[in-house]
Amino acid sequence: MEENGQEPNEELNNESNEPIHNVLPVSGLYENWFLDYASYVILERAVPAINDGLKPVQRRILHAMKEMDDGRYNKVANIIGSTMQYHPHGDMSIGDAMVNLGQKELLIDMQGNWGDVRTGDRAAASRYIEARPSKLALDILYNPQTTDWQLSYDGRKKEPVTLPVKFPLLLAQGVEGIAVGLSTKILPHNFCELIEASIKHLRGKPFKLYPDFQTGGVIDIEEYNKGGRGGKVKVRAKIEEYDKKTLVIKDIPFGTTTTSVIESIIKANDKGKIKIKKVVDNTAKDIEILVELANGVSPDITMDALYAFTDCQVSISPNACVIVDEKPIFTNVDEILRINTDQTVKLLKQELEIKRGELLEKILFSSLEKIFIENRIYRDIEECETWEAVLETIDQGLEPFKEQFYREITQDDIIRLTEIKIKRISKFDKFKADELMKRLQEELAEVEHHLANLVDYAVAYFENLLKKYGEGKERKTEISSIETITATTVAANNAKLYANFKEGFVGYGMKKDEFISDCSDLDDIIVFHKNGTFSVVKIQDKVFVGKDIIHAAVFNKNDERMVYNMAYVDGKSGRSMVKRFSVTSITRDRIYNLTKSDKGSKVHYFTANPNGEAELVTVYLTAGSSARKKVFDFDFADIEIKGRAAGGNTLTKYPVRKVVLKSEGKSTLSGTDIWYDETIGRLNRDERGVLLGNFNADDKIIVFFKDGNCELTSFELSNHYNQNQIYKIEKFDPNGIVTAIHQDGESKISYIKRFAIEATSIDKTYNLINDTKNSKLLFLTSTTNPKVEIGYRKKGERSKSVKEFELSEIIDKKGWKAIGNKFPVQNILSVTEIVVEQSIPDSSSTAELDALKESIKAEVKKEEKTGEGYDVGSSVDLDTKKKGDKDEKDQLGLF
C-alpha cells in the first residue's frame, strides 16, 4: 500500500487501485468502546452498591413496586411493565431478577407459585403471580425525603440513585455477579445475627459474621476470611442413616438443588465411585432424598463417598466486591456491616432532623395562628383596601411577638394566615390550641433527645426490627468443622489391577496379564524393581513403569503399618545388605533408589508386610565363596524399621546365591486399635463400627456364627466377614469363659454350657453345639458372670413367662466340646442379657499393663532363683520377703 502512495489506513479497490474508505484502528475501538462497556457492566448491571446492597435492576423493581403500592397485590407482569420505565432492558431479565429477589423472602410479599430455590422449580408465568412490598421493605427501604434522585434513562421519570436502606441488606440477601474483569460473590447471612452484630458495632463490641443459607446444611467457616478474597467455605448436606440399607439427605448445600444433587449421585454411581440401588426424591415441605444402598455397602463409607464425589458437599469461594463512590472495591463482610450500620445511623439522624424541622414549623405556625386569632389581628385588615396593605397590617400586628420564634417570619407565613377561614376563627378553642402546642413541644423534646443520644436511638431501632421481624428467621445452617475426605479412601473398587512383571507395565486394562488386586480408578500404584528402585504412578489403562517388576500394589499414603523387608547386593562394594522400611509419602512419577549404589545393585529378596511382619529367611552363599558357613538363617525382626533412604545393615560380605523364606514372621509393631464395621463385615482402623480392642502381633479375633460354629481369624484389614451369618465377633481371650444356651434339633431340649475356647488354628471352623439337624444357638456371651432374662412358655399355658437367671450359678466351666446341662426351663422364646455396668480399663493402656505384668513375673522368677536384689545378710527372712512381695503384687492384680 505504501508503494502505491496510499496511506496505511486506507483500503484500495482491487481494480482501480483507489482508496475506498478509511480503516479505523482496532486499538482505538478497544481502548474507548470496550472500557466504556466494561464500566457500564460493572456499575450498572453486575455489582451492587454498598449503600443499599442492590443492583440497578433490583433497585428499579423495588422503586416501581413502591410507586404502584396501594396495599393490594399487583400482578408481576404489571410490575415488570412499570419497571421498564426505568430499566432499559427486556422484560425477561426484570422478571428473573424479581423472582430471585422474591425467593430470598425478605423484601417482597409473594402470592402464587414463585418456584422453589431448594428444588430448582421455576416460578409460574408473571401474569399468574402477584406481589407487593413486604412490611420489612416498607420499614427499611423507602423515604423520599432522604432519597437522592436522578432522571431515568429517557429523562421522563425520576428514579433513586440508591434507596435509603436502614439495614445491612446486602449481607442479608447476598449477591452474585460476573462483570468484565471482576466478579462478586457475597454469601447470605442470618437476619437476626446481622442485627445483633450491628448493635455490637454501635456499642463498640467485637462481632463475628458467618453465612446462613435457606437450604440449611452444615458449613465449615475456618477459612471464611470474613468473606473477602482468598476465603473459602465448605458446605455439606445433612445426611443421616435411615436404616442399615438407606441414607436420607435432609438438607442440601447452598447453590445446589435437589435435582442437581440427585443427578450428581446418579453420575457418581455410573462412574463406579459409589454403589447404590436407587435414589428417591420425597421432598415436599422439607427436603428428603432417600439413597438406597447396594447389598454389602457400608452406610458410613457411602456417606463419605457422597461428600467426596457428589454435590452433597461443595466448596464456595466468596469475593466481597461492591461499588463505593462509583468505583468497585474489594472488602469483607465485617467492613460492609460497619458501613451499612453507620449509614443507618446517618439516615436515622437525617430523618430525626427532618422531623425536628417539621415540628418546629408546626409549632411556629400554631403560635402564629394563636396570636393572629387571640389578638384579633384579623379585624385590623377589614379596613385595608389593597393586598399589600393587608400583609403590612398583619406584619405590624405580629411585630411584638417576633422575638419568640426560632426564625424570621416571612411573607409566605403571613399569606398562610390570610388563608384561615372565618369558620375556623369563630370556633377557635384556646384550650385545644394549648394542648396541641404542648404535644408538639413534647414530640420536639423527644426528637431532640434522640438526636443527643443517637447511638441509643439506633440500637433501639435495630432491637425493634429484631422484635417485629426476627421470629421465624432463626439460623438454618449448622456451623461445624468438616473433615477432609480423601477420595481414594472412600472410592468403591470399580477396577482391577493387572501387571506384566517382565515387560514393566501396570494398569486396569491389561486383562490378559497377571491379576494383582481390586482397585479404583483413583488409586496410586507403587511398583518395586529388581534393581532396587521404586516409584508411585497414577493408575491408568496401561502405563509403563520399568522392566523387571518384583512387586506392584495399590499405594496407601501415610500407611505406617505397611513395612517392606528387603535384601540386596550393593553394586559398589559387593556386600549384601538388609533393610526394613516404610513408604508413607512420595512425589508421584519420581524414581527412588532403595540401595546404596545407583549401578550394579540387585534385590535378592523382597516382601511387603501390611502389619509390619518380620519373617525368618535362609541365605545361601555361592559355592565358590570363601565363607566356611555357606548357608545360614537371618531374622528380619533383628533389625529396626528405618527410612527408605537408609542403606541398611550388612547381611554378609560374601557373594549371595539366593535368599528364601524359611518361616512367616510376626508383627514387630506396637498394638493397634481395630474396629469392626458390621454393615460391610470389614475391619478398619478408622473408628467405624464397634471397637474390638487393641491388638498386638499374636492377638486373634474370634467369630461366633448363628449356626453354633466359631472361627479364629487374624486381624488383617483384608479379612471379610459375612455379617448375615455372624452372631458375635470380638477379640479372642484364651482365658475367657464363654456361656452358651442352645437347643438340640431332635429332642428340642435346651442346654446351657460354660467353656473356654481351646481352638488355636486360624481360619478353621469349630462346632460349639450339637451337630444334629435343626440344632440352633439361642444365646452366647463372653461376659464373666452373665445375667439373663428368659422368656418361656410353661407346658399347657399360652401366656409367656419371664424369669431371671445367674448363668454362672447354673453350671460350672466344662470342656468346650461338652453338650452341657439341661436348662432349668424349656420352651424358651427369648433370651435377653441384663447388662451390668463394669469398670473397663482403657484399651490404650491394656498393652502397657500386660507388659508390666510380664516384666514383674520375670523379675520375681529371677529373684526366686538367685536371690538377687535382696540383702541376704540382713535380718529380713528372704522367703518371707519374697512371699510378701508376691502377695502384694497379687493384690494389685498383676498375677
Active-site residues, by number, are 128
Q: Which of 193, 191, 212, 222 is nearest to 480 (CA)?
A: 222
Q: Which of 800, 786, 799 is nearest to 832 (CA)?
A: 786
C-alpha cell at 110: 409473594
d(CA 40, CA 80): 22
753 close to 739: Cβ distance less than 8 angstroms: yes
Residue in the block written with cell 468497585: 328
| Whole-number Cα distances in Å, 451 to 141, 358, 444, 456 | 21, 15, 11, 10
d(CA 293, CA 272): 13
d(CA 852, CA 848): 6
Helix (H) or strand (E) holding 314: strand 313-316
Q: Which of 162, 156, 7 is nearest to 85 (CA)?
A: 156
Q: Which of 754, 824, 751 is nearest to 792 (CA)?
A: 824
Burial class (CB in 10 A: 0-12, 13-18, 19+), 49: buried
Burial class (CB in 10 A: 0-12, 13-18, 19+), 739: buried
56 close to 153: Cβ distance less than 8 angstroms: no
C-alpha cell at 762: 486360624
Residue 515 — φ and ψ, nearest 5°?
Answer: -75, 135
3-state SS, residue 306: helix
Sheet of strand 233-236, all strands in order from the earlier edge strand to the far edge: 313-316, 233-236, 218-220, 478-479
Q: Which of 538, 550, 496, 546 is nearest to 520 (CA)?
A: 496
In DSSP notation, 248-302 reads EEEE--TT--HHHHHHHHHHHHHTTSS-EEEEEE--SSS--EEEEEPTT--HHHH
Q: Which of 604, 106, 623, 42 is nearest to 324 (CA)?
A: 42
3-state SS, residue 222: coil
3-state SS, residue 478: strand
419 close to 331: Cβ distance less than 8 angstroms: no
d(CA 385, CA 381): 9
816 close to 756: Cβ distance less than 8 angstroms: yes
3-state SS, residue 407: coil
Burial class (CB in 10 A: 0-12, 13-18, 19+), 840: exposed
3-state SS, residue 561: coil
| Whole-number Cα distances in Å, 720 to 35, 179, 276, 321, 682 | 66, 56, 20, 54, 5
187 close to 173: Cβ distance less than 8 angstroms: no
CA dihedral 342→345→347→353, nearest 10 degrees, is -140
Q: At what angle do helices 333-374 and 454-469 cross, to 10 degrees?
A: 110
